[in-house]
Amino acid sequence: MVATQQTNENNQCEESGGRPLLEILDLSVGYETGSGLVRAVDHVDLSLYAGESLGIVGESGSGKSTLVMSVLRLLPLDKTVVTGTVLFNGVDILRCPQQEMARIRWKEISIVFQKSMNSLSPVHKVWEQVEDIYRVHAPGASKDEIRERILHLFNVVNLSPRVLELYPHELSGGMLQRVCIALSLVHLPKLVIFDEATTALDVITQGQILDEVMRLERELKLTSIIVTHDISVVAKTCKRVAVMYAGRLMEVGDVGTVLVEPLHPYTKGLISSFPPLTGTRKKITGIPGALPDLKAPPPGCIFAPRCPEALKVCKEKSPVPTVVSRDGEEHLKDVKFGPGESAGLRNIQVPPIGAHVVACHKYGGDDA
């Protein structure tokens, strides 16, 4: 069992040949409503290399959860319009057959949901659900095997074995969150998505769980996406961060760069909405205004109506995401990405690992 898993991994490493584990290319997601299409995700390009941890931040309604839900193809088919491409390990997630998707789910990509209190059926014991979820990808697994695996993971996330015999309502929010994290790891997936996984918890429990997540990432060599509206969570746990606003990516880059010296006015505003823990007390400014109507987004940069630094061009033309150097001065103008014309999916250019990408006219976004 273990041996086959390793050869699999080796094979896939060779196959992927230095390409990102997850490539999101020109992805758009619209929700069908009675009065029009709400563009929850709008032409997003994002890639994630194996071993990276990516944080996706943005205020409520910015499309973060929709983005990750579409990666697992969990959006209701009848009410959403999804265009673009999501490549996971070279597999076209949005178009692969259902069986292929069922194989990828949980075995390769697993997710920990926002409301862990509701993530388990309230009328079935934890053990029963663990057993069923484990057997999805290992139908013949014996009870002892499953128990051994889950108890090992419970130990990792600091849960007592007796939790298995309890019903979800008998556990606290933090315990349920740990159960969900343990569950997400039963098949040692390549990518784990934490969708606001700690948002509902108090800061102490959140801190403990984040520490555990970071330890797991190190020990199990996980690749992870952490979706949150809390910049401190990203600062603590992620190597890279993608800032989202109204369905579009504003800025992507290393946490140390983006959070310390943000370039995009939205990122600056988002960061100044949180009080700094150290240093002198600064005024918390926040960002005045509200999200635009996503059924009829304004022309030009989606953030322009709220942007304190908006220029004339900002209200006319959408900025193109551009790779910038560390200080934001020199533009690497020739590096554009997104699906090439020849849409031969293997040949798409993706920004190099660690690139700092900004979608703003102030930083070369008008080169298109």
Partner 1 sequence: MGRYLLKKAGAAVLTIIFVLVLNFFIIHIAPGDPARILSGLDNPSPEVIQTLREKYGLDKPLQVQLVTYFKRVIKGDLGHSIVYDRPVWTLIKERLGATLLLTFTSAIIAFVLGSLLGAYSATRQGSKVDAALSFVAYLLYSMPSFWLGLMLILVFASWLKILPTSGMVNLRAPSTGILHYLDVFWHLILPATTLSLVQIPAYYRITRSSVSGVLKEDFITMFRASGMDERKIFRKYAFKNAILPTVTVFGLHLAYVVTGAALVEIVFAWPGMGRLMLGAIYRRDYPLLMGIYLIMSLSVAVTMIVVDILYAVLDPRIRYT
Among 26, 59, 90, 103, binds partner 1 (CB under 8 A): 103
* Cα–Cα separations (whole angstroms), residue 138 to 108, 329, 348: 13, 53, 35
Per the listing, tokens 């109507």 go with 293
Calpha distance 189→264 (Å, rounded): 34
136 binds partner 1 (CB under 8 A): yes
CB of 292 closer than 8 Å to CB of 302: yes
Quick one: which H or E segment has residue 162?
none
Calpha distance 28→340 (Å, rounded): 17
Residue among 120 and 241 whose Cβ is closer to partner 1 = 120
Minimum CB–partner distance for residue 132 and partner 1 (Å) = 7
Question: Which residues have CB under 8 Å from 232's CB, separation 6+?
Answer: 274
Q: Write the DSSP symbol of residue 349.
A: B
173 binds partner 1 (CB under 8 A): no
Among 167, 205, 311, 331, binds partner 1 (CB under 8 A): 167
Among 91, 96, 115, 254, binds partner 1 (CB under 8 A): 115
Among 95, 143, 169, 312, binds partner 1 (CB under 8 A): 169
Residue among 111 and 216 whose Cβ is closer to partner 1 = 111
70 binds partner 1 (CB under 8 A): no
Among 10, 11, 33, 74, binds partner 1 (CB under 8 A): 74
Residue among 134 and 303 whose Cβ is closer to partner 1 = 134
Tokens of 150: 């889950």
CB burial readout 348-361, b (16+ within 10 A) else e: bebbeeebbbbbbb
DSSP H helices, the chain, are 2-16, 64-71, 98-104, 126-137, 143-156, 173-184, 203-220, 231-237, 255-258, 265-272
Among 18, 34, 122, 288, binds partner 1 (CB under 8 A): 122
Among 31, 49, 88, 113, binds partner 1 (CB under 8 A): 113
Restricted to residues 11-40, the positions that interact with partner 1 (CB under 8 A) are none
Among 43, 64, 105, 264, binds partner 1 (CB under 8 A): 105
119 binds partner 1 (CB under 8 A): yes
The span of 6-14, 131-139, 201-209, 257-265 binding partner 1 (CB under 8 A) equals 131-139
Please state the separation of Cα 70 from the chain's center in Å.
11
133 binds partner 1 (CB under 8 A): yes
Angle of helix 143-156 versus helix 126-137 axis, rounded to 10:
110
Please state the separation of Cα 200 from the chain's center in Å.
17
The span of 19-27, 42-50, 106-114, 292-300 binding partner 1 (CB under 8 A) equals 106-114
Minimum CB–partner distance for residue 134 and partner 1 (Å) = 9
Quick one: which H or E segment has residue 298?
none
Residue among 138 and 335 whose Cβ is closer to partner 1 = 138
The span of 7-15, 51-59, 87-95, 128-136 binding partner 1 (CB under 8 A) equals 128-136
Classify residue 241 as exposed, middle or buried by CB count within 10 Å of its CB (0-12, 13-18, 19+): buried
CB burial readout 275-313, b (16+ within 10 A) else e: eeeeeeeeeeeebeeebbebeebeebbbbbebbeebeee
Residue among 62 and 184 whose Cβ is closer to partner 1 = 184
124 binds partner 1 (CB under 8 A): yes
181 binds partner 1 (CB under 8 A): no
Residue among 115 and 331 whose Cβ is closer to partner 1 = 115
Q: Which residues of the shown chain bind partner 1 in the complex (CB under 8 A)? A: 72, 74, 78, 101-107, 110-111, 113-115, 118-125, 132-133, 136-137, 167, 169, 180
